[in-house]
Amino acid sequence: MSNLTLILFGALIIFFLVVEPLGLARLWQIAKEKLRLWPFPH
């Protein structure tokens, strides 16, 4: 069972790197931009 958790954790990391290669900094930047424009969608 412990091997299964390691495999899932590794797959999650690989998936995250494929989806967002710039990492958490880019996700934080996107979130800040969306919150800044949130009440006034353009």
Residue-number span of the structural domain to which 33 is assigned:
2-37
Fill in the amino acid letter for 4. Answer: L
Give a yes or no: residue 42 inside a domain.
no
Q: What is the pLDDT of residue 5?
A: 93
Give a yes or no: residue 25 inside a domain.
yes
pTM as predicted: 0.52
Residues 6+ apart with CB under 8 A from 27: 20
Q: What is the pLDDT of residue 8?
A: 95
Mean pLDDT by 10 residues, the chain (42 residues): 91 87 84 82 60
Give me the number of domains the chain comprises: 1
